[in-house]
Structure 1
Amino acid sequence: MPELHDLTAIEQLAALHAGDLSPVELAAHYLDRIARLDPAIGAFVEVTADAALARAESLAPTGPRGALWGLPFADKDLVPRAGVPTRYGSRLHADLVPETTGDQAAVLDEAGGISLGKTSTPEFGLTGYTETLIGPPTRDPWNTDNGAGGSSGGAAAAVAAGLLPLAPGSDGGGSIRIPAATVGIVGLKPSRGRVPFASGLDSPGGLPVAGPLARTVADAALLLDVQAGGRPHPFATRAPGEGPFIDAALAPQTFARIGVTTVSPWDDAEDIRLDPDAARAVEVATVLFTDAGHGVDVFTWRPEGYAALFTTLWRMSAARMDLTDQQLEIVEPITAWLVREGRALSGVQVLDALAAASAFERATIEAFASFDAVLTPALALPPQPVGWFNRTDAARGFAQQVQYAPYSSFVNVAGLPAIVVPVTVDRAGHPLSVQLIGRPGGEARIIALAAELERRVGPLPHPPIWHSDTAGPEE
């Protein structure tokens, strides 16, 4: 007999609406799994069991039912929730308890969701791994010796381990897609402007946006529909004629022209080495698309000067943080390095970087214009052991992140939508993923293509902890 966490989010919703399952039963099931299994994973930094069960009790079966009615989720620990500690992954905010709830959490509440707590994130969400000074590292449920990626590492690990049916995340340089690919689930970064309350339009270079993490493409599309429709915004992207994203995940696919490249814009600046398994995942997806009748073409793409551009943008973003010299001695080395480097930039350097980002966006969209989607590796390297990323030599740690995930950040700079989806497994049974990048506002198309890959691949295995009755190995 399948257990509740074996059901997809959509299947759980159907059972909730049919009255075969109550919100209290579902929340209690996940809270029990978190209590037993999360000590081995470190996906949560705060579990709000009492508040979650009270919220579940309040959802009357005869009352209004939003798109997530009765469905558990958890807030990334960068998102404030009134009365719940929000630490931003930093010792600076160890005792911070917000008085108000941010839009990213409120929108999911309004849709009927039930927050079970806070998922872990690196300090201020600045890195592609989730290891902090305020708690244990977040680990890959497939192999707890390895990290789960970041910065939405806790959210991704929780979904992969069956501790949540789906989870919201944020992505400023790969922070949804990197952990999703690391732990073998679906992660979607929307177009700049798609999600009104986290559009990217109010940040230097327009990098960070909110998006979903889930086990299936349809579940991710369900959450994206809620996020994209949760707040009015005059600058929100609305592609003409585009219906709910869940429809795209479930509809039959039409012919698409797909470009394939393993070139990254970091190739001319860093030692980027594509792991054979990562290359094989691209080959598998290429064959699946070709067999489905799509037009698939390998194409040449040689962007130049990207490394300096993104490094400047990332420093600029960090420089906006209001940290004193004393606080810079308390935060992690990479945070302090990014802030200090960013504050050292001149006004001319900042303006030049913003102009270069706009030029890169135009050039990338033009290079990809003949394709409905572009297929790339999701990661260049396999999941790495906890502690692999250098956290004391900030420059070295930054370079390692680039070597691990060189295909992520440029999508943010270009403002394009992208989704990662597992398509095969390695010799140990760990899922291997690819990335599909869409046109501006083209979420529906890449969701449909990812769903087609998912259907053709068929069910992939769950991590060993999925069916475990114990907390597994301690750290």
Structure 2
Amino acid sequence: MSSTEFPLWQMNADALVQAYARGDLSPVEVLLSVRSRQQQCGSLLGAVLIAQDDAAADAQARASEARWRRGTPLSALDGVPVSVKDNIAQHGLPCRWGSRAFSDHWPTHDEQPVARLRNAGAVLLGKTNVPEFTLQGYTDNALFGPTRNPWNRALTPGGSSGGAVAAVASGIGPLALATDGGGSIRRPCAYTGLFGFKPGRGVVPRADGLPALLPGLEEIGPIARNIADLARILLVIAPEMSGSLLPTPLPSAPLRIAYWRSIGTSPVDPVIRDRVDEAAEQLRDLGHVVVAQPAPVEVEQFNTRAWPVISGAGLAAVMATLPPGADAGLGAALAHLLAAGRSLSAVDLHRAQGVQRALTEAMAQVFSTHDLVLSPACAAMPWSAERSHPERIDGQAVDGRGHAVFTAFANGAGLPALALPCRPGDDGLPIGMQVVGPRGSDALLLGLGAQWEREAAPVWRWPELIEEAAV
């Protein structure tokens, strides 16, 4: 095995591919190191990878090794280990969606982004844990149990991409493929110090997947420890973005950024607000024009009047495709949401769609005078891994979506959004922000992210608790 100053599982995708090209490393060596890391820390984190085909991954790594030796890699991602969230279909593995209702579901095809990864030579590590039907902001289910935050194992890594961020933050692969229907990439990234990208509507094509739970809202996107790795995987899964992403060009002019410190009267944890205030000032120091202003009322209206209807109706529609009695094993929260969804009328759904259209129009108005929107990614710091949500934020009682008020508007309006790490809290827990742009600004967001990473972001450090498992 090639000697390095640190374990191979710590290497990012960008560094791996460069080492493969030089002949310094083999994808087989890297897979063995990542698999060893999984064995070292898996028991500390609960459910992370919940389905694997090690023989298939071994074969993929060997095939990649042969291609690199011939000098014929398939892509800029050939030989890089990637995990896949368990609501994204991957042929050869079950896709259980965190629910007993799908416990026996084995897809016959890869969903289109997974097929692109496979055809690009990526090494598919396995499926990452999710909450039931990916509709909650923490990660636990009756099939596999909770996923724990690498920074504090008593806490949740968020959701619904909790297994994905736990994997990347702990070194079980440098990249994860995930979904974001209301913040499910951005909030978990904020809780684990990672970079995450929700593409704009349709930028990552989808086909051959699970039934659409949140039609038009949910996008597939990547999670990584740096911007270059996000760009590298997007070159494969987002053909519309196959321009000059590597290296990602920095913004060429000062950007006009609207800064939303809160959403309506919803509370925000003071440490989060403090750190994102600090980040706003750092963006000003980089030359950008950052102006704090209230979010449009349509954002809060979408959260309270549209999101519950769309998610409830979506769950009811998915369950209607299953045999009678499939809902018997649902957890209490999902059973309640299903009952609410089944009680909705066509008028209710039409009204929710009207709220969504109003949100889209309001965001178009915001972007007529601003290039981007900045906000916290989460309203609350992470909470107990066994609880679905925090009951209070900054001393104020909140409902199950109180922690998630900042993110769903980007899904409702089909906007690209990027999660970026801020300075951690005094207790060392990561804190994140998000930057949202108009349709078509995906590359611009990555450019700002590259500038932030180079000039202002905290330097990546491995979670101290996870280092208990290091060899």
TM-score scaled by length of structure 2: 0.89
| Residues 200, 207 of structure 1: 8 Å contact kept | no
Residue identity in the other structure for 1:450: G
| Residues 263, 302 of structure 1: 8 Å contact kept | no
Partner of 2:406: 407
Residue identity in the other structure for 1:211: G
Partner of 1:395: none
Q: How far apart are 1:414 and its partner, in Å?
A: 1.1
Q: How far apart are 1:339 and its partner, in Å?
A: 2.4
| Residues 431, 460 of structure 1: 8 Å contact kept | no
| Residues 193, 201 of structure 1: 8 Å contact kept | no
TM-score scaled by length of structure 1: 0.89
Partner of 1:232: none
Partner of 2:49: 44
Q: How far apart are 1:351 and its partner, in Å?
A: 2.0
Residue identity in the other structure for 1:47: Q
| Residues 60, 122 of structure 2: 8 Å contact kept | no
The change in CA–CA distance for 1:193 and 1:99 in structure 2 (over 3 A counts) is closer
Q: How far apart are 1:201 and its partner, in Å?
A: 13
Alignment pair present for 1:299 and 2:309: no
Alignment pair present for 1:6 and 2:10: yes
Residue identity in the other structure for 2:352: A
What secondary structure does 1:297 align onto? strand
Residue identity in the other structure for 1:349: D
The change in CA–CA distance for 1:202 and 1:37 in structure 2 (over 3 A counts) is closer
| Residues 225, 460 of structure 2: 8 Å contact kept | no
Q: How far apart are 1:4 and its partner, in Å?
A: 1.7
| Residues 120, 138 of structure 1: 8 Å contact kept | yes
What secondary structure does 2:420 align onto? strand
Partner of 1:311: 308
What secondary structure does 2:106 align onto? coil
Partner of 1:73: 82
Partner of 1:340: 339
What secondary structure does 1:245 align onto? coil
The one of 139, 153, 168 aligned to 2:162: 153
What secondary structure does 2:349 align onto? helix
Partner of 1:172: 181
Q: How far apart are 1:469 and its partner, in Å?
A: 3.5
The change in CA–CA distance for 1:115 and 1:204 in structure 2 (over 3 A counts) is closer
Q: How far apart are 1:347 and its partner, in Å?
A: 1.4
CA distance in 2, matches of 1:262, 1:323: 42
| Residues 369, 439 of structure 1: 8 Å contact kept | no
CA distance in 2, matches of 1:84, 1:465: 31
Partner of 1:83: 92
Identity %: 33
CA distance in 2, matches of 1:201, 1:247: 36
| Residues 365, 414 of structure 1: 8 Å contact kept | no
CA distance in 2, matches of 1:327, 1:13: 45
| Residues 37, 465 of structure 1: 8 Å contact kept | no
CA distance in 2, matches of 1:201, 1:84: 17
CA distance in 2, matches of 1:312, 1:252: 38
Partner of 2:394: none
Q: How far apart are 1:54 and its partner, in Å?
A: 1.7
What secondary structure does 1:20 align onto? coil
The one of 130, 138, 145 aligned to 1:129: 138
Partner of 1:212: 222
Partner of 1:235: none
Partner of 1:224: 234
What secondary structure does 2:183 align onto? coil
What secondary structure does 1:274 align onto? coil
- 45-54 vs 14-23, which moves further: 45-54
Residue identity in the other structure for 1:15: A
What secondary structure does 2:325 align onto? helix
Partner of 1:460: 460
What secondary structure does 1:139 align onto? coil
Q: How far apart are 1:381 and its partner, in Å?
A: 0.8
CA distance in 2, matches of 1:67, 1:46: 26
Alignment pair present for 1:103 and 2:103: no
Runs of 4+ that moved beyond 4 A: 198-205
Q: How far apart are 1:444 and its partner, in Å?
A: 1.3
The change in CA–CA distance for 1:366 and 1:202 in structure 2 (over 3 A counts) is farther
Partner of 1:142: 151
Partner of 1:163: 172
| Residues 278, 378 of structure 1: 8 Å contact kept | no
Partner of 2:441: 442
What secondary structure does 2:295 align onto? coil
Partner of 2:354: 355
Residue identity in the other structure for 1:243: G
Residue identity in the other structure for 1:366: Q
| Residues 83, 176 of structure 2: 8 Å contact kept | yes
The change in CA–CA distance for 1:161 and 1:204 in structure 2 (over 3 A counts) is closer
| Residues 151, 176 of structure 1: 8 Å contact kept | yes
The change in CA–CA distance for 1:201 and 1:443 in structure 2 (over 3 A counts) is farther
Question: Pairwise mapping of residues 52-63 of structure 1 onto structure 2 (< 5 A)?
Answer: 52-59=57-64, 60=66, 61=68, 62=70, 63=72
Partner of 1:277: 271
CA distance in 1, matches of 2:215, 2:305: 14
| Residues 89, 210 of structure 2: 8 Å contact kept | no
Partner of 1:394: none
Structure 2: gaps (5+ residues): 391-396
The change in CA–CA distance for 1:36 and 1:200 in structure 2 (over 3 A counts) is closer
Partner of 1:23: 27
What secondary structure does 1:348 align onto? helix
Question: Pairwise mapping of residues 325-404 of structure 1 onto structure 2 (< 5 A)?
Answer: 326-389=325-388, 400-404=399-403
The change in CA–CA distance for 1:138 and 1:207 in structure 2 (over 3 A counts) is same
Q: How far apart are 1:14 and its partner, in Å?
A: 0.5
| Residues 204, 354 of structure 1: 8 Å contact kept | no
CA distance in 2, matches of 1:443, 1:208: 16
Q: How far apart are 1:411 and its partner, in Å?
A: 1.0
Aligned residues: 449
CA distance in 2, matches of 1:260, 1:405: 17
Q: How far apart are 1:224 and its partner, in Å?
A: 1.9
Partner of 1:233: none
What secondary structure does 2:423 align onto? strand
Q: How far apart are 1:390 and its partner, in Å?
A: 6.2
